[in-house]
């Protein structure tokens, strides 16, 4: 006979404990946290179980600032604005936009963190970092993969990446982080340029992957943190679009044609299955 589940074990959490009149997050009373910790510090506490150092909080905060918005041409932002003109609520607009963040757009930081870890692993066996990056990139290109975190459809150099890397360099010079993943990111960029014969710049996902790997986050936390950051831009654009009005805005103005490359106009066959005949 199956034993009935222990109701006390149905949900288990080390994150929060509440009782009437009491809310404790990771052991800290919420009223002590409110007004005392910044939002990045609170995110760190939630995910990691303890408060970050000032350097750690500053680097996480920098990632959250960097990824917040990339304008109405970024699919995540465009989708929020389009959804808002379709008569849905802000929660629908935000969810629609967040759902576009994946392996190709905004979510590639997760795969990039895995890539950096793979290079780190290869280099751990007496192989120099540049050779390890070259081997890893070579293998991926052989499989005809896009290397996550590199290349941009718009920026020849992504201004967010250089700034984030320089913050990691500063923190590494103080011993606040190791600097290993900044070196790996740069080695990957060089290996990719050498293999492709053209520079494919580290993009925002590649740079946030450096910072978050330095800080010890897991790859899927990297994706989640990008989503947290971009949600701010998504909300701002949704609200701006709401204020501007507009109904059913598509991805481009109706006057701009798309390309139709289907069948030529043709007549329906005289006999169709639903008309009781057979299609020729």
Ligand X SMILES: CC(C)(COP(=O)(O)OP(=O)(O)OC[C@H]1O[C@@H](n2cnc3c(N)ncnc32)[C@H](O)[C@@H]1OP(=O)(O)O)[C@@H](O)C(=O)NCCC(=O)NCCSC(=O)C[C@@](O)(CC(=O)O)C(=O)O
Contact positions vs ligand X (CB under 6 A): 70, 73-74, 104-106, 108, 146-154, 196, 200, 203-205
Nearer to ligand X, 37 or 160 (CB): 160
Instruction: Name which of 200, 204, 179 is nearest 191 in CA terms.
Output: 200
CB of 5 to ligand X, least distance (A): 43
- Asked if 253 and 78 touch (Cβ cutoff 8 Å), the reply is no
CB of 222 to ligand X, least distance (A): 12
The residue number with the shortest CB distance to ligand X is: 151
- Asked if 64 and 226 touch (Cβ cutoff 8 Å), the reply is no
Nearer to ligand X, 129 or 204 (CB): 204
CB of 74 to ligand X, least distance (A): 3
Nearer to ligand X, 39 or 154 (CB): 154
Residue 106 pairs with which residues in a beta bridge?
102
Nearer to ligand X, 146 or 186 (CB): 146
CB of 230 to ligand X, least distance (A): 7
Q: How far apart are CA 69 and CA 42, in angstroms?
A: 22
CB of 235 to ligand X, least distance (A): 15
Nearer to ligand X, 56 or 213 (CB): 213
- Asked if 212 and 225 touch (Cβ cutoff 8 Å), the reply is yes
Q: How far apart are CA 52 and CA 46, in angstroms?
A: 11
The side-by-side arrangement of strands in the sheet containing 22-25 is: 16-19, 22-25, 28-29
């Amino acid at each position: 006979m199956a034993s009935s589940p222990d109701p006390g074990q149905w949900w288990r959490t080390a994150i929060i404990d509440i009782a009437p009149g009491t809310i404790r997050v990771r052991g800290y009373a919420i009223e002590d946290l409110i007004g005392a910790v910044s939002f990045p510090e609170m995110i760190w506490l939630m995910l990691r179980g303890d408060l970050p150092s000032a350097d750690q909080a500053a680097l996480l905060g920098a990632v959250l600032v960097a990824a917040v918005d990339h304008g109405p041409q970024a699919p995540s932002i465009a989708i929020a604005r389009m959804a808002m003109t379709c008569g849905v609520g802000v929660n629908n607009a935000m969810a629609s936009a967040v759902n576009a963040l994946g392996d190709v757009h905004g979510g590639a930081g997760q795969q990039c963190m895995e890539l950096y870890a793979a290079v780190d692993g290869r280099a751990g066996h007496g192989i120099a970092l540049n050779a390890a990056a070259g081997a890893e990139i070579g293998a991926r290109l052989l499989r005809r993969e896009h290397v996550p975190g590199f290349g941009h459809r718009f920026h020849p150099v992504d201004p967010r990446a250089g700034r984030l890397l320089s913050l990691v360099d500063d923190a590494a010079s103080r011993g606040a982080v190791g600097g290993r993943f900044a070196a790996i990111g740069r080695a990957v960029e060089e290996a990719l340029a050498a293999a492709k014969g053209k520079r494919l710049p580290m993009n925002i996902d590649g740079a946030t992957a450096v910072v978050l790997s330095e800080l010890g986050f897991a790859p899927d936390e990297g994706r989640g943190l990008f989503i947290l950051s971009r949600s701010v831009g998504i909300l701002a654009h949704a609200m701006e679009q709401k204020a501007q009005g507009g109904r059913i805005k598509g991805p481009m103005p109706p006057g701009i044609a798309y390309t139709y490359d289907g069948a030529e106009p043709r007549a329906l066959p005289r006999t169709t299955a639903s008309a009781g005949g057979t299609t020729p």
